[in-house]
Structure 1
Amino acid sequence: MLPWERRYRLVVALGDVVATGVAVAGAAVFSTPPESWQTVLFATVTAAALLTALVPAWDHRILGQGAEEFHRLGRALLIAAVLLAFGAVATGVGELRGWIFVVLPGAAVLCLLQRYVLRKLLHRRRAVGQCMLPVVAAGHPEALRDLIARTRRESHLGWQIRAVCTAGSSGDGADVEQIDSVPVVGDLDEVARSAREDAYRAVMISADRYWTRSRLQWLSWELEGTATEMVVAPVLMDIAGPRVHVSEVLGMPLLRLSEPVLTGPRLFVKFTVDRVGALLLLLLLSPLLFLIAVVIKADSAGPVFYRQRRVGHNGRVFTMLKFRTMVTGADRSTLGEEVTDEGAGPLFKSRRDPRMTRIGSLLRGYSMDELPQLFNVLLGDMSLVGPRPPLPNEAESYEPEMHRRFLVRPGMTGLWQVSGRSDLSWAESVRLDLRYVENWSLTLDGMILWKTVRAVVTKEGAY
């Protein structure tokens, strides 16, 4: 474990203990606590801390990334609540049971908040190259380039490939090579030596025909006793989450890939959340929508709404609503040479489009022009979360694999929105849409909705 990992784990653990103590003390102040609530405070904090350590929710390998950290924390506090309730029954303090099931959910909220804040602080440091996990990667050059690009793009995860090993290379310094500015330090059979000598945090194995079952097993043996983890990147890199299952068959581990779950109870929940959420948001935002409509009408001549044909679920064309942000007839006008197309692929985007109205740039900057799409969600043409709805002429140019984005309803927000929007390359935008379809889950939708708030406030990639 690296020194910064120890410090981060200690801060997280202390934060959890303090948050639990604050929840118990707060409940004692604002409600009627059981007798000897100081003893209850000690028992609750101790039980929560022990269960959090045993689950373990303080494992340095899960802190600062992914949903597993929050899953383990929730599981630990739930078990603690059940054990304390049984303890209350056993000691005859019956009124403690209801109190515990109020206090620990409050503690869970406080713990989640403090962990989220710490995670954001960690991600900020990683964005400038600090608190990174040094990694040596080994595999085919093309697969290594993809891995290097992914780790640089997703710097918040902390993986930093500092060296690579690939077939036909030399690590003696006589024939120094690089892959995307990362030095090649040896051949594939020198991975373990490089990991031991330079104390890498992880060895990341990418696709190459060199990696047979016996060679991977031997490498794992060679890394035993070191602080270096072995991570194997599967060939199907964009398929993860609930679709991936590991099981043992015939004495060997097999990676099972299930079909995307696009029907059933979870889809019904998504359908319900979309309709109810859209209706509540329309009611809540109705004063703002009316104000925007008035300002658009006063700012320039023309309709309040802009209607555009888009391709949705199963390739069905529908009319998408937006607040008008350009002068009337802008979609039929031609642009001069002074305007540069800054969009990705077939999409036209310009930061200084002369067709934009005065209020239009403000509406686009904060994505308020997209609020009328709530009516599309209410009608069932769109979802709150999903792939970006393409134009018909754009969809006609799609490669076969890109048609998989039509398996789900398009969304007002999605992975593309929380990952940079118009700043993304065309290939990256398509990859994110396909990744959403392949790995859709209610948890992923919740995460995207949460991140959308930050993306809208910071106006990242919006123009």
Structure 2
Amino acid sequence: MRSDGSPSRVRRRRRGKPAWYAPAAVAVDVIGAAVPVYAAFRLFDEAHAVYYAAAVSVAWVLVRAARTRYTWRALGERGHAQPLLRDGMVLVALLTMVRAATGEDSPCHLVPAALVVCLAFTAACQTLTNRHLQARRRDGRGVRRALVIGETAALNGLVNRLSRRTDHEFVVVGVCPIGDDTPNLIAPVAGRLAQRLPAHLSDDSAPVLAAVRGLEVDLVFVVSGPTMAAERLRRLSWALHEDGCPLVVVPGLTEVVQRRVTVATLAGLTTLHVTPPARGAALLAKGVLDRVGAAVLLVLFAPVFAVVGIAVRMDSPGAVLHRQIRVGHQGRHFTLAKFRTMVADAEQLKQELAKTNEHDGLMFKMRRDPRTTRVGRVLRRFSLDELPQLVNVVRGHMSLVGPRPPLPEEVAQYDEVELRRLGVKPGLTGLWQVSGRSDLSWDETVALDLHYVDNWSPVVDLNILSRTLRAVVEGNGAY
């Protein structure tokens, strides 16, 4: 019972995630570890292959369980390569210690080799369950009901942001604004909090707990601000936690990934330390890998260059390559080369087609641009027209991964926020290219580019490069 005599709802329903996620994850890990280990030991005619396979599979499941990979909160969520690799390293270390303690003389190189297959099985299972969960969430299933508390302006911003995205698990079922202003939201007002600091705990807790219970809320978001901070926020957390309801405080910091944020306590205050984006050695390594990778790709794609060049020349009159002035890192201009996909006088015709622009921002895009040639449509569909930009990467004008290189006339209209896109070198591929390309709105394009500028790392670049092949094959937004 709570101090006010009302019942405490300590346990809340876990909504939405299918019950088969946990057994499926365990089964995949068992099979993924046992089968390759057994096959490796049998290949080398080792005795007791079955026992080795069983021991490794049990150890793998125990490592994953100890690192909370089978918890309800983790199952089905987007997996990352780093935690999975760390799990594999823990397993190898554990098996090495067991081998040393027992005096086992089996070939130690067989297990790490077999674990490559095991990690692939686990990664595939994570990907499939995540796609299944994302599909459920797009249909309004597999979500958690949330109540949002805060000042009206901040509350509007958070709720609108959550409603525009489907890559999270929350649906806002009600809001509790602070003060008398009415939020401009579809979510109903489930209660109101006074603008001033309440004299009694119940002044805040009563309307909030009534909303939590009436709407069957799973979690409460509080947008921190001048009227909801320090002692008032602390008191509200007491009431919610006594009722068994989790609390999430939103500090107003946006588009900063978790690895850049550390939490610390200073003089009783909870502080967030935000590290700057990767610089120094990471930036140097990015430049080296860009140039070496682009040089290797130029050699590998040399036959493709020849075939595409001949096709462009035979399809329509004009140069094989189309050159444009683009804006790069810190506003530096450079000449970008692409295979020509349009008629020779495309730039002149652009002025006549200006009114038919189908993009809502500064870029000019048309799904059925009459200037595009027959070969050009094929090249754009599979992004083959971008291949000559590998030369720009080798010369240091561009990176393999980065924002789209803009035109000077676009940059001339940038505001202060949009200019932030020029904080890194433009890329041959990037978040824009793997997230929908021309199907994205201008605001979405800018948001993706700024997210990359603020949070890039070598791991992020590798992830984007791995997603690029799929984006090219699917061709979404390629026109």
- TM-score normalised to structure 2 length: 0.87
Q: Compared with structure 1, are the counterparts of its residues 447 and 334 closer, same or farther at alpha carbon in structure 2 (3 Å cutoff)?
A: closer
Q: CA deviation at 1:386?
A: 0.8
Q: Compared with structure 1, are the counterparts of its residues 166 and 246 closer, same or farther at alpha carbon in structure 2 (3 Å cutoff)?
A: same
1:128 equivalenced with 2:145 (yes/no):
no
1:64 equivalenced with 2:80 (yes/no):
no
Q: CA deviation at 1:215?
A: 2.6
1:93 equivalenced with 2:104 (yes/no):
yes
Q: CA deviation at 1:227?
A: 6.0
* Alpha-carbon RMSD: 2.4
Q: Tell me the distance in 2 between the aligned counterparts of 1:12 and 1:227.
A: 29
Taking the TM superposition and a 5 Å limit, the aligned residue runs for 1:296-375 are 296-334=312-350, 336=352, 340-375=356-391
1:24 equivalenced with 2:37 (yes/no):
yes
Q: Tell me the distance in 2 between the aligned counterparts of 1:460 and 1:225.
A: 49
1:380 equivalenced with 2:368 (yes/no):
no
Q: Tell me the distance in 1 between the aligned counterparts of 2:351 and 2:268.
A: 65
Q: Match for residue 26 of structure 2?
A: 13
CA deviations 1:434-455 (Å, max 9, x no partner) are 2211111112212222222232
Unmatched 5+ stretches in structure 1 = 171-176
One-letter amino acid matched to 1:307: R
Contact kept, 8 Å, 2:342 with 2:376, in 1: the verdict is yes
CA deviations 1:166-213 (Å, max 9, x no partner) are 12469xxxxxx7743222212243334323443333222224433112
Q: CA deviation at 1:327?
A: 0.3
Q: Compared with structure 1, are the counterparts of its residues 205 and 309 closer, same or farther at alpha carbon in structure 2 (3 Å cutoff)?
A: same
1:392 equivalenced with 2:403 (yes/no):
no
1:139 equivalenced with 2:150 (yes/no):
yes
Q: Compared with structure 1, are the counterparts of its residues 313 and 9 closer, same or farther at alpha carbon in structure 2 (3 Å cutoff)?
A: same
Contact kept, 8 Å, 2:28 with 2:121, in 1: the verdict is no
Q: Compared with structure 1, are the counterparts of its residues 178 and 400 closer, same or farther at alpha carbon in structure 2 (3 Å cutoff)?
A: closer
One-letter amino acid matched to 2:273: R
Q: Say which of 41, 53, 63 aligns to 1:51.
A: 63
Q: Match for residue 173 of structure 1?
A: none
Q: CA deviation at 1:5?
A: 5.2
For residue 253 of structure 2, give the secondary structure of its aligned residue in structure 1: coil
Contact kept, 8 Å, 1:339 with 1:352, in 2: the verdict is no
One-letter amino acid matched to 2:48: S
Contact kept, 8 Å, 1:169 with 1:186, in 2: the verdict is no
1:404 equivalenced with 2:403 (yes/no):
no
Q: CA deviation at 1:230?
A: 2.0
Q: Match for residue 73 of structure 1?
A: 84
Contact kept, 8 Å, 1:388 with 1:410, in 2: the verdict is yes
One-letter amino acid matched to 1:124: A
Worse overlay, 336-345 or 400-409: 336-345
Q: Tell me the distance in 1 between the aligned counterparts of 2:411 and 2:20.
A: 50
Q: CA deviation at 1:300?
A: 0.3
Worse overlay, 238-247 or 316-325: 238-247
Q: CA deviation at 1:364?
A: 1.7
Contact kept, 8 Å, 1:366 with 1:459, in 2: the verdict is yes
Worse overlay, 331-340 or 84-93: 331-340
Q: Match for residue 193 of structure 1?
A: 210
Q: CA deviation at 1:344?
A: 3.1
Taking the TM superposition and a 5 Å limit, the aligned residue runs for 1:210-229 are 210-224=227-241, 228-229=245-246
Q: Compared with structure 1, are the counterparts of its residues 178 and 396 closer, same or farther at alpha carbon in structure 2 (3 Å cutoff)?
A: closer
Worse overlay, 291-300 or 197-206: 197-206
Q: Tell me the distance in 1 between the aligned counterparts of 2:69 and 2:323.
A: 49
Q: Match for residue 264 of structure 2?
A: 247
Q: Match for residue 82 of structure 1?
A: 93
Contact kept, 8 Å, 2:218 with 2:245, in 1: the verdict is yes
One-letter amino acid matched to 2:466: W
Q: Tell me the distance in 2 between the aligned counterparts of 1:3 and 1:126.
A: 9
Q: Say which of 267, 278, 285 aligns to 1:269.
A: 285
Q: What percent of counterpart residues are identical?
A: 37
1:427 equivalenced with 2:443 (yes/no):
yes
Contact kept, 8 Å, 1:85 with 1:96, in 2: the verdict is no
Taking the TM superposition and a 5 Å limit, the aligned residue runs for 1:429-444 are 429-444=445-460
Contact kept, 8 Å, 1:64 with 1:119, in 2: the verdict is yes
Q: Compared with structure 1, are the counterparts of its residues 398 and 462 closer, same or farther at alpha carbon in structure 2 (3 Å cutoff)?
A: same
For residue 301 of structure 2, give the secondary structure of its aligned residue in structure 1: helix
1:205 equivalenced with 2:245 (yes/no):
no
Worse overlay, 178-187 or 231-240: 178-187
CA deviations 1:272-294 (Å, max 9, x no partner) are 22122212222222222222211
Contact kept, 8 Å, 1:389 with 1:411, in 2: the verdict is yes
Q: Compared with structure 1, are the counterparts of its residues 108 and 230 closer, same or farther at alpha carbon in structure 2 (3 Å cutoff)?
A: same
Q: Match for residue 308 of structure 2?
A: 292
Q: Compared with structure 1, are the counterparts of its residues 4 and 239 closer, same or farther at alpha carbon in structure 2 (3 Å cutoff)?
A: closer
Number of residues of Structure 1 aligned to a counterpart in Structure 2: 454
CA deviations 1:217-238 (Å, max 9, x no partner) are 2333333366643222221212
For residue 180 of structure 1, give the secondary structure of its aligned residue in structure 2: coil
Contact kept, 8 Å, 1:143 with 1:206, in 2: the verdict is yes
Q: CA deviation at 1:360?
A: 1.5
